[in-house]
Structures are given as C-alpha cells and as structure tokens.
Structure 1
C-alpha cells in the first residue's frame, strides 16, 4: 500500500496506471488500483474520473424511491404486502440493485484489479436481474390479460358473451402460449446469456467490448417488451369513457420516451462522445459514461411511470380485478412466481459471477505485487 503521509492518494495519468484500468480517451484523474476501502469511499468526494459515474447512479436511487412509493398512497390501493404488488416489489428490487451495484462498482473498483473485475461482473448481473424484474411487472400488469378474471353477475352465473367478446377483441390465441408459458422463462434465459456475454468481454473481445455490451442488452429489451408491443398494437381492454382508459392511454408516450432514452444511452456508450472529440477535456465531468448513466436512469423512470399507469388502470377497474375465489384468466402473482423466480435467477447469476471472478483472480491475482512494486518506484516519496 502506498504511503500517503495523511494526504489523499495522488490522481494519475493514463500512462501511470495498468492498461487494464485505462478508458478510451480519458487521460487523467485515474486512481491506482491499490486503494483501501476508506480511500475508495473518500474518493466519492474528490474529482476523479469515477466520481461522476458514482453520483449519477447513486442519487437516482432516492429519486426512483420517491416516485415508486407514490403508488401506495393512491385511493383504494391494496396494502403494500398484498400479492397484487409482488411483481412491483420485484421490479423495485431489480432497479435498486442495478443502481446501487453500478454506483458502488465505480466507487470501489480501485481496490485492486481483481476487485475491479468482480465489481463489474456484479454490475452486469444486476442489469440482467433488473430486466427480469421488468418482465415480471410487464407480465402481471401489461400482459394481454393482466388482471382479467372470469367476470360474474351478482347471481353468480358467468357472463359468457361479455367474456367471449373481450377475448375475441383483445386476446390473440396464437400468442397466449408464448405469454403464458414461455415469456418469463425466455426473459430469464436471455438474462443469463447477457451476463455471461458481458463478463466474457472483460477477458476476451476487449476491442469490441462497448459494442458487444450495448448490443447484447437489446435482446432482453425486445423479449421483455413483448407485452408492451402487443398492447400498443391491439385494442385497449378498458372502456373509452373510463378512468382506467385515461390512465392506460399514457402508457404509449412513456414507452416511447423509455425507448428514446435507451437509444440515446446506447449511442453515447458506443461512440464515446464527447471525450472522443476532445481527449482530456472531459476526464472528470461530462464524459460519455456519465451521460450513459443519466440516460439509462431516465429510461428507467419513464418505465416506472408506464408500469404505474397500468397498475392504476387495473385498480380503477374493479370489474377487472381478480375476484376472490374465482379462477382468473391469468393466475395472480404468488411468492413462487415472483420472488421465487428472482431468487432462482439471482442464484444462477451469482454462480456465474463466482466462476468469472475465480478466473479473474487466476489471471490478475499474481500481478498485484508486481504492479505495486512498479508504482512504488515512481511514487516512493510524498510530495
């Protein structure tokens, strides 16, 4: 460990850090990968090239939470622990883990090369967990028959004609097998594929890593968004004059904005603009990864608004809520179908992260002492 004589550890140029740490077109503001945990935490308040990356995903945690809890203050809303909200809580878990893992990965990655690798493995894992959390929310709130139960008259007889009309105008039988059987499993399989692909870019395909990481997450977007595409192309299940229709009709604009921010985030992440245009000028503030964080959070925020609009539409339509004791068209959320799915996914992702972390330790672990010795020769004295 370097002696800092009570002073903050010096920030370095790209020529003074291991090639593994260097980011394209970022010339200064680097932390050498041997910081203590305390040094890493304190660096959040120093102008390094990771400071903005930390804050642009840490502060949004509180913004997201503020907009999320609004749901539980609505009139006639079930209790927060009601099974109706299980998918929404899983979505919250996915977003919270994504934002926290990303911010901490950027803050703690200078402890060592191995820790740096593990930090970003975890980061990729939480991105995939977030996509499955989104899929669960889409499935139970935006699914073609989300919240639709067998509607009954007061005397208990089935309203067959009304139900058949609803089915024929709204639900497509040729897609029901996909939605009911393959949608969630497909989202999980794709998420696992994405984690493995992104982790691999840290050990191979380095030249194209930003392109691969960006493109590989387009696949889960298209899979997860299938219910939204369906809803946009079919008739609304709600009466045009109802409050539910007014709430649900806002879904489209939120989804289009969600897509816009995702596209913008992909463009800046691949192009490395603006630092590509002026290397060294955006080392601390304003480089592409900070904009990438901002745009991805704006996409998440619009996605949250979209989900909330659908949740509100269901709540405002008592006739479409799942009546107790009546078998619904779409089985209601359970602990197994929501938290159980996320737990199984997370267990698989953790196993993948452990495997890649072990490989990273085998590759970079032996280099730690050599790196420190080389750096000590250059910075043996306190200035």
Structure 2
C-alpha cells in the first residue's frame, strides 16, 4: 500500500499473515490483508507473490481477442451479430469471464479475508461458465456432423459424390446413434456438471482443505469429458466431408488442436497438484516462476488451442454454405437461437451467482470476526519518512 512518504509497506513472510492466506511452499512476498481497492490495483505493478498470477491471465485475454476477431473477417462469414455466431459469442463470454475473474481474484484478494473468499468463489463460477460456453460452441459447430445421417439435399462438398459412395459416407459417420444424447441431454448435462463443480470447489474453501488442490483439479475433469463428447465422436468416426473438398482440408487440423488442448490441460493439472517447482526449493520461486503461474500459462494455451479447433470447424462450415446453421435438411438439430445460447448462459450464470452469494454469506459469518480483529490489531498508520 502507498504511504504518505510514497513508500509501499514491506511484503511479509508466511509467518506474518493469517494461515488462511498462506500458500504451500510460498514463504515471502505476501501482501497484508485489508488493502484498499486502490492499493490492490497498484500492487499489480509491484513484485508480490500474486503479481505473476494476475498478469498471466490478464495479458493472455488480449492474445485470445486477437485470434478470436479474425473469424469475422473471413470471406463468406456472415455479419458478427448473425445467429450463426451466437454460440461463438457465448464461448467468448465464457473465456472473457474466466480470464478476467481469475486475474482480478489474484489482484483483489488482499482487501480482506472475506473478499478473498468471494474472489475465488467467483473464479470457480467463471470456470464453470467457460465450460458451458465451450459446450455450446461444440454443440453447434461440431455436433451437426457428429452423428447426423444425410436425408437429402445438395451439399457443395457432396456434389461430385457417386451414389454408391454416398451411402458409405453416410454410414461412416453414423456408426453409433448418439443423436438422442446430443439433441436432448448434452447441454443440460454440461450445465448440471458445471453447477456441481462450482459447489464442490466452493466447498473446498470451507472444508476438505487438506486435499483442496487435488479436488479442484479433478472435479473439472468431469465437465471436460462431458463437453468434449462431440469431439470424441468425431475422432472415432470419419469426416463428413469429401477428402477433396475445401471443407475437409479446413477441418483436418481439428484433431491436432484438440490433442494439444488436452496436453496443456494435463500439464496445468500437474502443476496445480504437484506445486512444482516451489516444492523443490521453498522460498526461491515466491515471486516469479511458481506453479500457479505455470498453471495459468498452460490453462491459457489450452484455451488458445481450443479456439483454433473451433475456428477450423467454423471455417469448414463456412466453406459448405448448405451447412450454415440453421441446417435445411441435413440435420434435426435446430439452429442457434437467443434462448438456446444466451438464454442458457443467463440461467446458468443466475444459478452460479446464487451459489456464490450463499457461500459468500457463509464465509462472512466465519471470517467476518477475524477480519474485524485484524483491523484492530493492525490499523493503517502512515510511516514517517527519513
């Protein structure tokens, strides 16, 4: 915090702050609780053990934005507010909330013990919102060809396909009929799992604290598996596009982006659970290079590869005009609407906010007295300049 002499208060050791604030193997660089909002914001430009956590999610958002807006400049792309892009905008909302909430949680959590709890409740909520945003993008840009049997009509990628080949193509990507799951249960399942994850992660801040990092890491494995179902299906079946078509060429990199997406997620889980490298040298990586910063970097790289994967599927659809949503005769899947995209996200966010409010009220009842006692024991006094 800035004092009357312009000098910031010295950063503290782990023995000088409440146990609730201490992170495993991080010994120094702690800001004292009860920072003001202004002091928290200014601490972004001061090396503390949270500075790297802030910048490793704040700056990447602008990298994500750069690659995201590229889609709207593609040839043949509809206007940015077209129905076709509703799922993509919901995906953007999910990523934006995730990166901004995470960076702000690390920047503002020194305002008080209660604010610290609320910050990370919001952080967990936005992670779940992001997974549902991803599910909506998968549903509308990958699902339409995930288990759909062609029922007629002409597709530019099928124009030169002979009848005998058409039959084999149709059966090749309809090996198993998961249409009931995709059309009826996929999005509701993603939402239910997201809510379960918020409840579980918030609970780790009030109970199950001994294994909190393990629980928080693995509890998000379930939404990944549910959300990625359309991709798993695509990987286990043949592409619906002709090998000579431009749509096929555009979608060929989808699998490599997905595998890289999974690799980065695995790496982020390893860093989050292992607390490497600070576990090997406690105190050496307090400011820069500790595991949570690497966790943030790997998480963002997984999001970036996911964006590239979604973009390949969007481009493939744009290169096949008759597949532009809503489809005419190629699928029973309805096109995106305000209710099925923004409406889903609104209901999910409302539910998550309700959960956060409940846990925040409970956190205030637990940590409120401790916060007041800290304020009494450590009043803010300006230091004299020498």
TM-score, with structure 2 as normaliser:
0.92
Task: Quote how far apart the aligned CAs of 1:9 are.
Answer: 2.6
Task: Quote how far apart the aligned CAs of 1:175 are.
Answer: 1.1
Q: Partner of 1:282: helix, strand, or coil? A: coil
Q: Distance between the aligned counterparts of 2:369 and 2:204, measured in 1?
A: 21
Q: Name the CA shift for 1:10/1:146 in 2 (closer, same or farther; >3 Å).
A: same
Does residue 1:254 correspond to 2:257, yes or no? yes
Q: Distance between the aligned counterparts of 2:130 and 2:327, measured in 1?
A: 31
Q: Name the CA shift for 1:187/1:74 in 2 (closer, same or farther; >3 Å).
A: same
Q: Distance between the aligned counterparts of 1:13 and 1:332, measured in 2?
A: 56
Task: Quote how far apart the aligned CAs of 1:170 are.
Answer: 1.5
Q: Name the CA shift for 1:68/1:268 in 2 (closer, same or farther; >3 Å).
A: same
Q: Distance between the aligned counterparts of 1:298 and 1:243, measured in 2?
A: 27
Q: Name the CA shift for 1:296/1:153 in 2 (closer, same or farther; >3 Å).
A: closer
Is contact 2:153-2:329 (8 Å) kept? no
Q: Partner of 1:337: helix, strand, or coil? A: helix
Match of 1:194 in 2: 197
How many positions carry a matched residue from both structures? 377
Does residue 1:277 correspond to 2:289, yes or no? no
Task: Quote how far apart the aligned CAs of 1:325 are.
Answer: 6.5
Match of 1:129 in 2: 129
Task: Quote how far apart the aligned CAs of 1:371 are.
Answer: 1.4
Give the alignment partner of residue 185 of structure 1, picking from 184, 188, 193: 188
Q: Name the CA shift for 1:68/1:119 in 2 (closer, same or farther; >3 Å).
A: same
Give the alignment partner of residue 372 of structure 2, picking from 350, 358, 369: 369
Does residue 1:286 correspond to 2:289, yes or no? yes
Q: Deviations over 1:283-317 (max 9, x none)?
A: 00000000000000000000000000000001111
Does residue 1:203 correspond to 2:206, yes or no? yes
Q: Distance between the aligned counterparts of 1:198 and 1:61, measured in 2?
A: 24
Match of 2:29 in 1: 29
Match of 2:91 in 1: 91
Q: Name the CA shift for 1:312/1:334 in 2 (closer, same or farther; >3 Å).
A: same
Unpaired runs of at least 5, structure 2: 156-160
Q: Name the CA shift for 1:322/1:291 in 2 (closer, same or farther; >3 Å).
A: closer
Q: Distance between the aligned counterparts of 1:40 and 1:85, measured in 2?
A: 37
Q: Name the CA shift for 1:229/1:173 in 2 (closer, same or farther; >3 Å).
A: closer
Q: Name the CA shift for 1:153/1:132 in 2 (closer, same or farther; >3 Å).
A: closer
Q: Distance between the aligned counterparts of 1:118 and 1:246, measured in 2?
A: 46
Match of 1:106 in 2: 106
Task: Quote how far apart the aligned CAs of 1:61 are.
Answer: 0.8
Q: Deviations over 1:308-365 (max 9, x none)?
A: 0000001111233347866842211111000000000000000000000000000001
Is contact 2:144-2:333 (8 Å) kept? no
Q: Name the CA shift for 1:145/1:185 in 2 (closer, same or farther; >3 Å).
A: same
Match of 2:359 in 1: 356
Match of 2:266 in 1: 263
RMSD between aligned residues: 2.4
Task: Quote how far apart the aligned CAs of 1:164 are.
Answer: 6.5
Q: Name the CA shift for 1:234/1:18 in 2 (closer, same or farther; >3 Å).
A: same
Q: Partner of 2:199: helix, strand, or coil? A: helix
Match of 2:306 in 1: 303
Q: Distance between the aligned counterparts of 1:206 and 1:36, measured in 2?
A: 27
Unpaired runs of at least 5, structure 1: none
Q: Distance between the aligned counterparts of 2:140 and 2:146, measured in 1?
A: 5
Q: Partner of 1:131: helix, strand, or coil? A: helix
Match of 1:152 in 2: 153
Does residue 1:313 correspond to 2:290, yes or no? no
Does residue 1:215 correspond to 2:218, yes or no? yes
Q: Partner of 2:378: helix, strand, or coil? A: helix
Match of 1:77 in 2: 77
Match of 1:140 in 2: 140
Is contact 2:277-2:285 (8 Å) kept? yes
Q: Name the CA shift for 1:217/1:28 in 2 (closer, same or farther; >3 Å).
A: same
Is contact 2:128-2:198 (8 Å) kept? yes
Task: Quote how far apart the aligned CAs of 1:169 are.
Answer: 2.5
Is contact 2:2-2:8 (8 Å) kept? no
Q: Partner of 1:258: helix, strand, or coil? A: helix
Match of 1:15 in 2: 15
Q: Distance between the aligned counterparts of 2:27 and 2:299, measured in 1?
A: 25
Q: Name the CA shift for 1:314/1:18 in 2 (closer, same or farther; >3 Å).
A: same
Q: Deviations over 1:19-45 (max 9, x none)?
A: 000000000110111100000000000
Is contact 2:34-2:111 (8 Å) kept? yes
Match of 1:236 in 2: 239
Q: Distance between the aligned counterparts of 2:351 and 2:308, measured in 1?
A: 30
Q: Deviations over 1:30-64 (max 9, x none)?
A: 01111000000000000000000000000011000
